[in-house]
Amino acid sequence: MSFQPAPTRSANIGPANIGPANIGPAHTGLANIIEAEHLGKTYKIGKLQVPALIDVSFAVKPGEFVSIVGPSGSGKSTLFYILGGLTRATTGHVRIDGVDFAALSDGERTRMRKTKIGFVFQKFNLLPTLTALGNIEIAHEIAGAGEPLDRNRLHELTEMLGIGGRLEHRPSELSGGEQQRVAILRALVTKPAILLADEPTGNLDTKNSEAVLSMLRHSNKTFGQTVLMITHNPEAAAFADRTLLMRDGALVEPELVGP
């Protein structure tokens, strides 16, 4: 299989309306909290090579809320895994708060991930043997710097997400949308500097989508959390400060895509 590399394009940094007042707690004061530089990813399946990302470069400022949209198979989840240090890029670099993932040992990368990044996975990744509350508590224990779980915040998030009565249930006893909301709560309760969310409203109806998006916005504004949200839904994307578009593994400038 062969492919033509797309011309190099980098998405511009969006409106310069993010001031120091919005900088998150775990941030070191650099201009960009996320930097992706010429990222490429090729999956190898036997002799077949699948190019999933092609020369992707962009930067996100601390406290920005950025959405990434693009058709199925355009490389959004691949980018998500690479930005979160869960998969290695074939080429290029990711810097989180100025630190290059590739320069870290596996242990250091894991520590960085746990302390700085909250994940909402497209497939939820809840632990099946634990209840919803158990999933939330263990995530906090892993990420937390020995601080007790903020029960008031847990209660507030639970109410906002409408899953108050479901916390004692295991994932198999919850609907897809309920599991998704538990996964979102699990990521937010640790107050990470960066929240990476892959289709956080993918399984939700309009009412719950709005609740989730308002909550992401609230977290972003109140705690200065940087949010990078992948979505198929244009209405969800509109919640962000700016939107990056992906096509066939590359970022494209909005003006090249057309209405």
Distance in Å, CB of 142 to Mg ion, minimum: 24
Cβ partners under 8 Å of residue 102, min gap 6 = 88, 89, 93, 94
* 77 lies in the site for Mg ion, by CB under 5 A: yes
* 76 lies in the site for ligand ATP, by CB under 6 A: yes
Between CA 55 and CA 39 the distance in angstroms is: 5
Between CA 240 and CA 19 the distance in angstroms is: 16
Q: Which is nearer to ligand ATP, 5 or 73 (CB)?
A: 73
Amino acid type, 57: S
Give the bridge partners for 50, in sequence order: 43
209 binds, among ligand ATP, Mg ion, none (CB under 5 to 8 A by kind): none
Give the bridge partners for 91, in sequence order: 40
- Residue selected from 22, 32, 67, 78 as contacting ligand ATP according to rule CB under 6 A: 78
* 206 lies in the site for ligand ATP, by CB under 6 A: no
Residues 99-128 within binding reach of Mg ion (CB under 5 A):
122
Between CA 81 and CA 49 the distance in angstroms is: 19
Distance in Å, CB of 67 to ligand ATP, minimum: 13
- Residue selected from 77, 158, 209, 226 as contacting ligand ATP according to rule CB under 6 A: 77
Between CA 34 and CA 208 the distance in angstroms is: 29
Q: Residues interacting with ligand ATP, by CB under 6 A?
A: 43, 45, 50, 52, 70, 72-78, 122
